[in-house]
A and B are shown apart, each in its own frame.
Chain A
Amino acid sequence: MKPPAFTYCDPDSVDEAVALKNEYGIDSLVLAGGQSLLPMLNIRLARPEALIDINRISDLQKIERWSDVLEIGAGVRQYQLEDHPLVQELVPLLPQAVKFIGHIENRHRGTVGGSIAHADSAAELPCTAVALDATLVVRGPSGSRTIAARDFFQGWMTTALEPEEVLVAVRYPVMPWTAGHGFVEVARREGDFALAGAAAVVNLGEDGRIASLAVSAASISDTPVRATAVEQALAGELPTKENIARAAKEIVPSVTSGDDMHATRAYRQHLATVVVQRAITAAVARAHERSNAQ
C-alpha cells in the first residue's frame, strides 16, 4: 500500500495552481485534504504524474458574504462549517449535513472543494450543493467561469471541471430566514458512507401550503440526485404526513445503484423514500418553528 512515484508541486497562488494544471492536464490531481485521494493513491487506484498541493493557497480558505450569496473557498476545512456564524445564519443546512461527513478527524482535514470535486455520489456536500442550487466557481488558463451544481456532477466521480481547471469556491444562495431545512442520512456505522441520504429545504406559504421545495438525495445513483418528481408532487400541497409519504415514493425511479456489500437495490429504493420523507418532515417542522418564532 504505497503510492507510485509522482511529482509533487505546492503552489502559493491559484494562478500558479492553474498554470500547473495547464502544464500537466489530465495527468495531474489536486491534493487538498487528502481524505479520499491519499487512500486512492496508496491502493494505486489513482496514479497521477503530478500532485498539486493547494493547502498553502490562503485565497482558497475564505468564507465571505456577497449580498444574497455565501461564498465558501474550496480550501475551507469541512469542520469550519459546523459552527461558523455566517454559515449557521445564512445556510443552516450545511452545518447539519457536514456532521455526517466521516468522523471529526476527517472533517479537520477534508475540504469543501475537495469533496465537491471528488464527486462521490454518497457525499454530503455534493448532495447539499444540488439541493441549495449552489454555483461552483472554477478557474482555468483563460479565467474564471461558474457552473450550476446541477450541471456539475456528470457521472460517477465525474464532473464538468476541465483538466486544466481548478475549483476555487462554492457560492450558496442565502436561505430565507423562514425556510426550513432537513438532512437525514442512514449509514451502517456512524461516519460511514451513506446507504442513502437526503437534503430538503422548504418554504411554506401563509396558507400553510408548500410554496417551494428543494430535495436532493445521496448515494442512490452515480451522482447526487435532485428529486424534482418529489418536489412536484408536493408543490402547492399541504405538508401532511400522508402527502409527504406519498411524494417521497417518487424518488424510487431515481434509484439506479445496484446491489453491493451493504445494501440491496430493493433496500436502497426503500431507504431512499425513508430518508426523503424524513428530511422533508424535518424541514417542514423547522419551517413551522421559524414561522411561529417570527
Chain B
Amino acid sequence: MATEHANTEEKSGYKYLGADRKRVEDPRLLVGRGGYIADLKLPGMLHAAILRSPVPHARIRSVDATEALKLPGVVAVVTGEDCKAKMNPCMNFGPASIAQYPLAVDKVRYVGEAVAAVVAESRYIAEDAVELLEVDFEDLPPVTDPMAAMEPGSALLHEEHGSNIGYERTFEFGDVNAAFSQADFVVEDTLHWGRSAGMPMETSGAVAHPGLNGVLEIYCNSLNFSYFSFLIASALKLPSNKLTMKPVPAGGSFGSKFTAHKVPTLTGFLALQVGRPVSYIEDRIDHLMNSDHHASDRYYDARMGFRDDGTIVGLDIDVVDDYGAYMQFGVGTHGNAFSQIVGPYRFRDVKYHVRAVLTNKCQQGAYRGFGSEVHNWVLERLVDKAARRLGLAPEEIRRRNFIQPDQFPYKIPGGNVYDSGNYPAVLDKALSMIDLDKWRDEQKRLREEEGRYIGIGLATTQERSVFSATEFWALMDNPAFPLTSSPESATVTIDPTGEFQLLLHCQSMWGNSPETVGATVLAEEFGIAPESVNIRYADSAHALPGTGPGGSRYTVMLAGAVRGAARKLQKKLIDIAAHTLEVAAEDLELVDARVQVKGAPERSLTLAELAGTAYFFALNLPEGMTSGLEESYTYDHPYTTLPSPDRSDLGVFYPIMGHACHIAVLEVDPDTGILSFLDYVAVHDAGTIVNPKSLGGHVTGGAAQGLGSTLYEELAYDEDGQFKSSTFMDYLIPTANEVPAFRMAHVETPSPFTEYGIKGGGEGGRMVTPSVVSAAIDDALRDFGMRVRELPVKPSEIVATVQAGRAAAGSA
C-alpha cells in the first residue's frame, strides 16, 4: 500500500505550517522506546487478571474464591461485592438509573463482563487462579434483539431503570411532513450499521501505585484524565487531590481509549485493596469483549424527499441503536449525527427519532467518527438511491444540493453552524484526478465482453471537528452537569540558553501527532527548528485545564494554546530587546529566532542573548518585569453557544467543519464475492494544513478503518448472547494487502474561527469510505439488483444477491 499526495494547494506566507514534515514523535516510537504502559515496571508490582462472565445475563449468587486463594502467589481476589461496599459507581454521562461498576455488581449483563479480579505475583498465576474461582450464576433470559428488548414483556437489563429503552426522543427541525408534501418523490431504506471498533495494537492498561502522603498514582494510557480525573477519584471515594493520573503514551486509540475509565478505575481500586502497585493490562480477549469501545450498532428506517431535479427537501430518520448493557457516554454518538445532520446539503427540514436500547452486549464507546460516520452513510445511501432513480450521476446530484461557498457561516437545522467550506471545489478536485468517463466506458466493455463487474462509487462527507462540551448533555432535558468548558492549555518555556520546552496539559499522545503540531507552531512563531523543541506532559496534579484529544479537536486547540503562550513570550522578548537596544517596542520584530529593528536587521539580539538577560540579569530588565521566560495559555473553545431550553435548537457545538470527497473503482468477483480495488481518489478539506504528511496518515488510517467497518470487522453476538468475535480469527482487520493505494489531495478553506484557520482532520477517512465502497459495490452488481443495506458486507451476501439476480433473470 502506498499513499500518493498530489496537488496540495500552494499556501500563504507560512514558513513551517503546511510543509511536509516527518513527525518528531517517530524516532523514539520506531526504535521501540515509546514507553508504553506494559513497559512500566514498579518495584513490588503485582498483576491482575479478570474472570469474565461466560453467560450474557444472570444474577450472581456467589463467588467462591477459596481454592483460588490457596494458590501460592495469589494475593487477593476482589469481586463486585467489594466494589459495592467501597466504591461509588463509575463515571457515567447516561441516566443515573443505569449504574456501572468496574466489576459486575449483583448481575452480569453481557458475555465478557468482569466478574472478579485476581491479584497475584505474576499474570500467569493470576490467570491460573481465575480458573479456580467458582461463580454461582442464576441465569436470566438473554436480551439480544433490540426490537424485542423494547417489548413490554422483555426481561430488563436494569430493573432500577424500569425499561430497556435507555433514551428515546424525537427531534424535529422544520416541518418534515410539509416538506415531503412538496416532494416529487420520497426514497426510503431500511439499513443496519453493524458493530465494529477501533483496534489499536496496544490494549488499555494501567499501573496503580499507592504512593506517599496517601496519594494514589495511576499511570494509564487512557485519555482525558486531566479533564475527568476527579470523576475517577469520586468513584474510588478519594478526595481529588489524593489521586494523580500519570500520562503514558497510548499506542493508538482511534477513540477506543477516549475516557476509557474502567481499566484505571479498577486498577486503582485493586491497588488500594492490596496496598501495593498493581498492573492490569487488557489482553486481546479482554479488549475485544469487555472494553469501553464497541461502536454504533444502528437500525434505521430512513426517508428522504426529493424534487424531480434532484434537490433534497427533507429527511426523516427513525433509528434504534443497540447500545449494549450500559450507557457511559449517554447518546453523544447521536449528538455527533446532529452536528452535521444535513451533510453538505442545503435542505432545512429534518426529523430524527432515536431510541437507545439496552441489550446483553458490551457497552458502546468512542470510535473515529463517533456516530457521525453512521449518519453520513445513511445520508449518502439515500442520495445514491435517488440518483439512480433519476438517472443522475452521483457527482451531479450532489452538486445540485451543495451549500454554496458564499453561504458560510451556515446554520444548519438543529442549530450547529458550519464555519466555512467550498464543496464544489473539493468535488472538482476529485473529479480532476480520475477519468470517470473512461472508467464508465471500461465498466460497460468489461461487463459486455468479459463478464467482469467493476463498480464506481463517489461519496462526500462532512467532517465535524473540535467538539464543545455542550454536546455531552445537549440531548438531555435535565442534565446533571451541563458543563460548557472544553479548553486546552500549553506552557512554553524558553530556557536560559534559548532552547524551548513545551508542556502539554493532557494525555494527548495516542497515535496522533501532538508534539509535531506543538513544535511546528513554535517554529512558525519563533523561527526555531521544530525538532529542537523538547516536549513533556503534565500529570493531573500539575495540569492546567485540558480536555485532551477527541472529536478531531487537538490540533486546533493545541495550536490555539501554543500560539496564545507564544504571543505572551514574544511580547516579553520584545520588551527586553527594546529596553536593551533602547528602541521603541513597536519598531522591533521577531524574525528567525532574533529580535531585530525593523528596516535595520543588523541591530538585533538572538533568543539566547535575550533569554540570558531574562534569567540572569534582572538589573537589565525593564522596570517591573520579573525574571524568567515561561508563559502558559488556556485556549477555550473558539465558538460554542448554549442549547435552547426546549432543545428546538441544540446550539453551536461542533462548528469547525471539514469536508471530503472520495471516488473508488473496484472489481467484484461475482462467483466469490471478493473485492479488489482498481483506483481510489481521496480529497479532503481540513482548512489550513499543519503537516500534509501527518494529515495524509490520518486520512489513510481512517479510510482503512472505514474499509474494515464496511467489509470485514464485526463484533457479533449470536441470538443467545454469546460473543462470536473474541479473537482476530473472527474479528478481521484489513491489512496492507486489503487497503488500496489512496491517491490523495487537499483543498484548504481556512476556518474563520480558529488560529491559522486550521480545522480538525483526524476522522474524515473513516467517515466516507463506508459510503463510497457501498456505492461502488451497488454499481458493480446493479445487473443483479445489489443494494448494500447492512455493514459489513460479506462475500456470502454478495454471492447470494448475484445468485438471486441470476435466478430472477433466468426465470424472467
Contacts and interface: CB of A to CB of B under 8 A. Distances in A.
Interface string B799-810: 110010000000
B738 A270 contact: no
B11 interface: no
B796 A5 contact: no
A264 interface: yes
Contacts of A264: 796, 800
B795 interface: yes
B717 to A, nearest CB: 11
Interface stretch (A133-141, A144-152, A186-194): A186-194
A43 interface: yes
B732 A43 contact: no
Interface string A256-276: 000001111011001100100
Given A1-B285, A274-B671, A267 B735 contact: no
A186 B285 contact: no
B735 A186 contact: no
A41 B734 CA distance: 26
Contact of A2 (B123, B671, B730): B123
A274 B796 CA distance: 13
Contacts of A267: 673, 795-796, 799-800
B127 interface: yes
A4 B128 contact: yes
Nearest to B126: A2
B745 to A, nearest CB: 28
A187 B799 CA distance: 14
Contacts of A193: 729
A189 B734 contact: yes
Contacts of B123: 2
A195 interface: yes
Given A1-B285, A261-B724, A188 B732 contact: yes
A166 B729 CA distance: 28
A193 B672 CA distance: 15
Contacts of B606: none
Nearest to B716: A261
Contacts of B714: 261
A195 B131 CA distance: 34
B732 A263 contact: no
Nearest to B47: A2
B725 interface: yes
Given A261-B724, A262-B794, A263-B796, A189 B732 contact: yes
B727 A43 contact: yes
B737 interface: yes
A271 B800 contact: no
B674 interface: yes
B712 interface: yes
Nearest to A268: B796
Most A CB atoms within 10 A — which of B284, B727, B734, B796? B796
Given A43-B727, A193-B729, A271-B672, A188 B799 contact: no
B396 interface: no
B672 A186 contact: yes
Contacts of B284: 1
Contacts of B730: 261-262
Nearest to A1: B283
Contacts of A270: 671, 799, 803
Contacts of A3: 124
A271 B798 CA distance: 12
Interface string A225-249: 0000000000000000000000000
A188 B672 contact: no
Contacts of A5: 124, 128
A34 B803 CA distance: 41
Tell me the dominant secondary structure on chain A's binding face: loop
| From B714, B732, B803, residue with most partner A Cβ within 10 Å | B732
A3 B124 CA distance: 7
A191 B728 CA distance: 13
Interface string B91-109: 0000000000000000000
A193 B737 CA distance: 15
B124 A2 contact: yes
Contacts of B131: 4, 44
B285 A188 contact: no
Q: Which of A4, A186, A190, A261 has the most CB of B within 10 A?
A: A261
B738 A190 contact: yes
B799 A271 contact: yes
A189 B714 CA distance: 14
Contacts of B127: 1-2, 4, 44
Nearest to A266: B800
B58 to A, nearest CB: 22
Of the candidates A267, A271, A274, the one having the most CB atoms from chain B within 10 angstroms of its own CB is: A267
Contacts of B729: 193
Interface string A196-233: 00000000000000000000000000000000000000
A115 B217 CA distance: 48
A111 to B, nearest CB: 20
A93 B128 CA distance: 45
B803 A186 contact: no
B290 to A, nearest CB: 13
Interface in A1-46: 1-5, 39, 43-44
A4 B803 CA distance: 48
Interface in B699-727: 712, 714, 716, 724-725, 727
Contacts of B795: 186, 188, 195, 263, 267
A262 B734 CA distance: 14
A189 B712 contact: yes
A58 to B, nearest CB: 32
Interface string A41-62: 0011000000000000000000
Interface string A160-191: 00000000000000000000000000101111
Nearest to B711: A188
A263 B796 CA distance: 6
B738 A189 contact: yes
Interface string B770-804: 00000000000000000000000011100110010
A190 B803 contact: no
B409 to A, nearest CB: 44
A3 B128 CA distance: 9
Contacts of A271: 672, 799
Nearest to A186: B672
A189 B675 CA distance: 10
Contacts of B672: 186, 271, 274
Contact of A188 (B128, B712, B724, B727): B712
B725 A189 contact: no
B796 A190 contact: no
Contacts of B732: 188-189, 192, 262
Contacts of A263: 794-796
A267 B735 CA distance: 24
A24 to B, nearest CB: 20
Given A2-B124, A261-B714, A190 B737 contact: yes
B725 A190 contact: no
Contacts of B712: 188-189
A-B interface, 4 closest residue pairs, ranked by CB to CB distance from nearest: A267-B796, A190-B737, A1-B283, A2-B124
26 contacts: A1-B127, A1-B283, A2-B124, A3-B124, A4-B127, A4-B131, A39-B727, A44-B131, A188-B674, A188-B732, A188-B794, A188-B795, A189-B737, A190-B737, A190-B738, A192-B732, A193-B729, A261-B730, A262-B732, A262-B796, A263-B796, A266-B800, A267-B799, A270-B803, A271-B672, A271-B799
Given A5-B124, A43-B285, 15 more contacts: A2-B127, A3-B124, A186-B672, A188-B712, A189-B734, A189-B737, A189-B738, A190-B735, A262-B794, A263-B794, A264-B796, A264-B800, A266-B796, A267-B673, A267-B800
Interface of B: 123-124, 127-128, 131, 283-285, 671-674, 712, 714, 716, 724-725, 727, 729-730, 732, 734-735, 737-738, 794-796, 799-800, 803
Interface of A: 1-5, 39, 43-44, 186, 188-193, 195, 261-264, 266-267, 270-271, 274
